[in-house]
Structure 1
């Protein structure tokens, strides 16, 4: 397996953005977004996290949070403001980090995953709990399959070839171990109990057709988080990997806009008020409501 182990760091202004990739993956997932934010003036940092990122020895979810906190603290020593952005399980990790470091400027949750409950998830996605404590623990690996989180067919074909050749691609690994999945489940359970206490400005971007993480995930957070500045954006031409798929430009642009708005509101002392909910694709309101009814 050829695994990229290089972190991404782009020097910008005094507002740094710590970017957390998905489970057992790498900063490559965030490369486009990191470059776009840097072009908008932000300092961007997408690190490799010991025990969480691909190529490192698997560790507990507590160590994941510790590793992310170390990266946050290092940025906070150098920059006036530090925001946190996470993708997939990285978004759950971002929530855990901001709960621990409430001084973070803002929080961006992309394809938030607290449960693997999307339409493409097979029934065996998680083995029963007993499997984790059996010999399967060291042998079982969940294999990713079509559509690889991508609605864009040309990019999906490219990723499929990369998976066959190297078992790794710019959107992550071809397989994920049972211990990693177990720790991700533990992280999600922990985060659910912490969301209400989080007060940071929060952006949620999620695809209505996410095949990995259903809209129930962001709706849970949006309905319980303590943020007074909350923006939720629904996409309709992407699947799970929204930082690489058809609407990556929208994701990047809206993330940059939100972070600057949060910074400006904080500087002007006008961050209070009622929650702000922006539906970028208003025509999807009825579809979202239908999803909610079906999940009730």
Structure 2
């Protein structure tokens, strides 16, 4: 039986019941719901129903993350989606980093999703792909807290399990191969300087999805964790405008 760890403070899933428009808000790889909570609260304040699931193995300890697969992370998101489906007529999905990858996955597999808002979404990270055959190393240094704004920290693991890196590489490949299936409107945010996900990922997403209505918005004052960075308010404002129009 795998050892379990308590959920860290601020890493708990969040749920806000509101109107019949739902927003699924997905955090990133090795991170936690803390990175998405400000967005979730801002959307709830506008009256929307919001769900921020905690991805399995996240927000506890990296030993626990090491035991999970990308199928577990998908299952966590599907659970949040079902929670919204029971309450809402219309569902939007947004996510940061691997949360953006999972946002794309949901759009590929649930054509009824109204629209998506990926933020620095990951579909191709060569440095991670290069670790596919790594056998010697168990943990790598942390990838969290790539934030330009001083004194702001992301609640993320201080080690990254190599086994988990291999899982996200498989997830990215799966999602990359299915991008053409996406037809819903898409608002894609990309930080011009990102030390985790190459910014070209967002252009690749923009170019390969089949959506007629799609827009790429550059974030010039944030690094990877843009949802906690200088452009956070811009993301919130643009997203709310996009939701009202879609």
Q: TM-score, normalised by structure 2?
A: 0.88
Residue of 176, 180, 189 corresponding to 2:160: 176
The runs of 5 or more residues in structure 2 that have no matched partner are: none
Looking at structure 2, the residues matched to 174 and 8 of structure 1 have their Cα atoms a distance apart, in angstroms, of 23
Looking at structure 1, the residues matched to 8 and 160 of structure 2 have their Cα atoms a distance apart, in angstroms, of 13
Residues 38-187 of structure 1 mapped to structure 2, 5 A cutoff:
38-51=44-57, 54-55=60-61, 56-57=64-65, 58-116=67-125, 128-131=131-134, 134=135, 136=137, 139-144=138-143, 148-155=145-152, 159=153, 169-170=154-155, 172-187=156-171
Looking at structure 1, the residues matched to 132 and 212 of structure 2 have their Cα atoms a distance apart, in angstroms, of 38
Looking at structure 1, the residues matched to 72 and 53 of structure 2 have their Cα atoms a distance apart, in angstroms, of 15
Give 3-state SS (helix, strand or coil) of 1:150's partner: coil
The runs of 5 or more residues in structure 1 that have no matched partner are: 118-122, 160-168, 263-296
Residue of 167, 188, 212 corresponding to 1:204: 188
Larger of the two Rg values belongs to structure: 1
Give 3-state SS (helix, strand or coil) of 2:222's partner: coil
Give 3-state SS (helix, strand or coil) of 2:227's partner: coil
Q: Is the 8 A contact 1:52 1:59 kept in 2?
A: no
Looking at structure 2, the residues matched to 53 and 181 of structure 1 have their Cα atoms a distance apart, in angstroms, of 17
- Which structure features the higher share of helix residues? 1
Tell me the residue number matched to 2:26. 20
Looking at structure 1, the residues matched to 204 and 143 of structure 2 have their Cα atoms a distance apart, in angstroms, of 26
Q: How many residues align?
A: 237
Q: What CA RMSD, in Å, does the superposition of the two structures yield over aligned residues?
A: 2.1
Q: CA deviation at 1:235?
A: 1.2
Q: TM-score, normalised by structure 1?
A: 0.74
